[in-house]
Chains A and B, each alone.
Chain A
Amino acid sequence: MALLSFERVHTSYQDGRRELVVLDGVSFEIEADDFVGIWGMRRSGKSTLLRLAAGLELAQRGCVRFDGVDLASISGQRRAALLRDGGIGLVLTDRRPALNERAIELVALPLLAGGASLREARMPALRALDRTGALMCAEYPVAGLARDDLIRVMLAQALVHRPRLLLVDEPAAFLNMREAAETYKLLRSIGSEAGVALVIASEELAPLHGASRMMSIGGGEVRLMDREAEIVSFPGSDSARRGGRNR
């Protein structure tokens, strides 16, 4: 059984008078231990796809399953619990954390939200910070952290509850070449670990080096770039007819 599956998922937004189709009957599966790179241009639907995978949004049609469970069939509380109890880790780098806690407190949040005491959460949080190379940031307020350190802290927060699926959105944003190279190295090392599937969505190609599978997203479609995947023909196929983005 796949760890994550999208089955004919459809999602669209109203953009003025037009309907902007983000995912149009998209289907794919991600296995445990996969390292998947998703490339797409700005506003192609990468973040929406990750939010659907994490259960932060529900598909308008179709089904998203994590570990065989249809995310639309469980309560909002249970979906939220997936993000703190060894299910799914999510890193959205497009915004800084809203609160200016110390890094260790930010990393411990998923455990605290799950009922752990500060004392119980401290050691796992330090271990997660150590894993991402951000241990020295533990006592600093996150508002003062450099961008690359902040991403390491956000990764630690996503990893602290030992998720089986880690979703990372735009890890390259606002990093210089050296910082980006170090961040990608860390991501590749996480991607090579047993027991965690890694999905990186990026407008840049560089973070996707090392991925075992690649997908591209755009125009409402997700295309698998595996060599053996069938190339979609046009016209005549469903996906081709769906084709349009703005309706």
Chain B
Amino acid sequence: MIADAVNNRSWMRGSPLKGVLLGLVAELEHPAHAYALATLMARRLGPAWQVDRKSVYQMLSQLQSANLVASEPLQTRRGVLEVYSPTEHTKAALAIWMETRASKAPVREELQAKIAVSRCEDGPSLLRGLAVYERECFEMLKATSDAEVASTSWAGLAMALARVAADEHLQAELRWVMAAREAIQDFIAQPRR
């Protein structure tokens, strides 16, 4: 039974956020409710992941079905809340997830898809789209502004590395925006017969 719960890797299908959630549950000292776990997850990963709090409930339910997370009702002043804690299999399953090869997600930006099939007359709307996209990248950057990351602990180092990954990703996006804008502007501006 124990081996089944640990070796059954079907829970790993889909979002890697399930692994993150499992990691957070594994280090809980006290049971925590889903909202607290979602907040912890957003803090640990940074805004680049855009954690949807509703999806955290679904992921917890899937992990619970795999017997990797336990839940129990807790009476609070605001009513009964479901709180979550690790099971005896959580740490072993987490260790297996850590060793599993990380897959590279494909690039699926909608704007890139639109550009791929655009026509010359779409240039103006693409430029507006690029301007909005650029601003959104900077908004995302600003959203990480306040968090101080200490690299004196492992958790601090892990957060700092996640932050660097998010910065590098945003930077690549901004470079692409800049290059795409210049190329489209130049193409539209050049005289044609």
Contact = CB atoms under 8 A, between A and B. Distances in A.
- Residues of A contacting B: mostly: loop
A41 B172 CA distance: 10
Interface residues of A, number: 33
A44 B141 CA distance: 20
A224 B142 CA distance: 14
Contacts of B189: 241, 243-244
Given A205-B141, A218-B178, A231 B149 contact: no
A216 B131 contact: no
A181 B141 contact: no
A56 interface: no
Contacts of B124: 233-235
B135 interface: yes
B146 interface: yes
A220 B98 CA distance: 47
Interface in B104-159: 123-124, 127-128, 131-132, 134-135, 138-139, 141-142, 144-146, 148-149, 151
Interface of B: 123-124, 127-128, 131-132, 134-135, 138-139, 141-142, 144-146, 148-149, 151, 160, 164, 167, 170-171, 174-175, 178, 181-182, 185-186, 188-189
Given A205-B141, A227-B139, A234-B123, 18 more contacts: A44-B178, A177-B164, A178-B151, A181-B149, A185-B148, A204-B167, A208-B141, A211-B142, A216-B178, A218-B178, A225-B138, A231-B132, A233-B128, A234-B185, A235-B124, A240-B127, A241-B189, A244-B185
